Amino acid sequence: MNKICNYIVLFCSLSGVFGSEPRYSSRFEYDEQMLEKMIRMEIDYEKWEKRIDEQVNKMVQTMESLESFVENKVIQVQEETENAIRNYESRFNASLGALRDTDKEQATALPDVLFRARGVVDHTLVVNQTMVFSEVMYNIGDGYDSASGIFRTPVNGTYLFNVHLCQYKGHSIFYAIVANGVTVSSGLSYENSGYVCISGEVVIKLNENDTVYVKSLHDDVQLLRTALSSLYSYGIKAQTFSGVLIR
């Protein structure tokens, strides 16, 4: 309403200025056309105002929807990240649990296998003769047979064997550790004038029921027979054969 009043004021003042304009046949015609123009301008103005309002509304709506889109996106990314972390954590937990189970399994699956025997039945040996260590100190897993001198593996695994032999003064030792009929370690002490002790060992992967023993590789192998003094009963302690399942 205000705008229309303004136009009317403008119209009245203009009609004063252009009142004598010769293009118009009458003052009335002039006034009429001016009024018409002004009404058209007013209508145009209102149209423009409406369009601008519409555009501004659209922009506001766009911005609002953009804002909520970004907000939703942020929430979505947050949720996805949290889910991913949870997923990862539960997978990690599961792996850790499996690892612990495997550890337990292995700990329970690996039995104690350990033997040690000393003292030999025959101190003089010929080639290929098995050394029979007769005094069993321990035989966990029951793999060693003190009658034959043969150790039979109770389970698959990696084993460590050790033999320790002392030679009779001036004689020789030629020995071999034999696994499944094959020499896997050997050593000697040849015509040594003193009392020499030698030892040998082997780490070997074996299957269940494989056999391991120590044999002489030569005739006239002579092992220490008696104690050298009352302090050391070498005769029996010198000759030992032992084995252990290590994994």
Of these, 57, 61, 128, 233, which contacts ligand NAG (CB under 6 A)?
Answer: 128
Dist CA 154 CA 182 (whole Å): 19
Whether the CA torsion 203, 133, 234, 221 is positive or negative: it is negative
Residue 156 interacts with ligand NAG (CB under 6 A)? yes
Asked if 127 touches ligand NAG (CB under 6 A), the answer is yes
Which is it for the CA torsion 149, 150, 153, 157, positive or negative? positive
Of 9-17, 114-122, 138-146, 202-210, which part binds ligand NAG (CB under 6 A)?
A: 202-210
Q: For ligand NAG, which stretch binds (CB under 6 A), given 4-12, 88-96, 138-146, 166-174?
A: 88-96
Kindly state whether residue 158 participates in binding ligand NAG, applying the rule CB under 6 A: no
Closest CA to 173 of 164, 182, 181: 164
The answer to whether 207 contacts ligand NAG (rule: CB under 6 A) is yes
> Minimum distance from CB of 210 to ligand NAG (Å)?
10
| Residue with smaller CB distance to ligand NAG, 163 or 238 | 163
d(CA 26, CA 23): 9
Please report how close the Cβ of residue 156 comes to ligand NAG at its closest, in angstroms.
4
Q: Does 86 bind ligand NAG (CB under 6 A)?
A: yes
Beta carbon of residue 77, minimum distance to ligand NAG (angstroms, whole number):
20
Query: In terms of CB distance, is 3 or 86 closer to ligand NAG?
Result: 86
Instruction: Please state, in angstroms and as integers, the Cα–Cα distance from residue 161 to each residue in 51, 144, 229, following that order.
Output: 99, 12, 29
Element housing 62 (H / E): helix 27-109
Q: Pick the binder of ligand NAG from 55, 65, 83, 90 (CB under 6 A).
A: 90
**Whole-number Å distance between alpha carbons of 22 and 147:** 150
| Nearest to ligand NAG of 86, 100 (CB atom) | 86
The helix (H) or strand (E) run that includes residue 133 is: strand 133-140
Q: Which of 33, 61, 72, 93 binds ligand NAG (CB under 6 A)?
A: 93
Q: Does 33 bind ligand NAG (CB under 6 A)?
A: no
Contact, 160 vs 244, CB < 8 A?
yes
Q: For residue 95, with 0-12 CB atoms within 10 Å meaning exposed, 13-18 middle and 19 or more buried, which class applies?
A: exposed
Query: Does the protein bind ligand NAG through residue 208 (CB under 6 A)?
Result: yes
Chain residues that interact with ligand NAG, rule: CB under 6 A: 86, 89-90, 93, 127-128, 156, 207-209
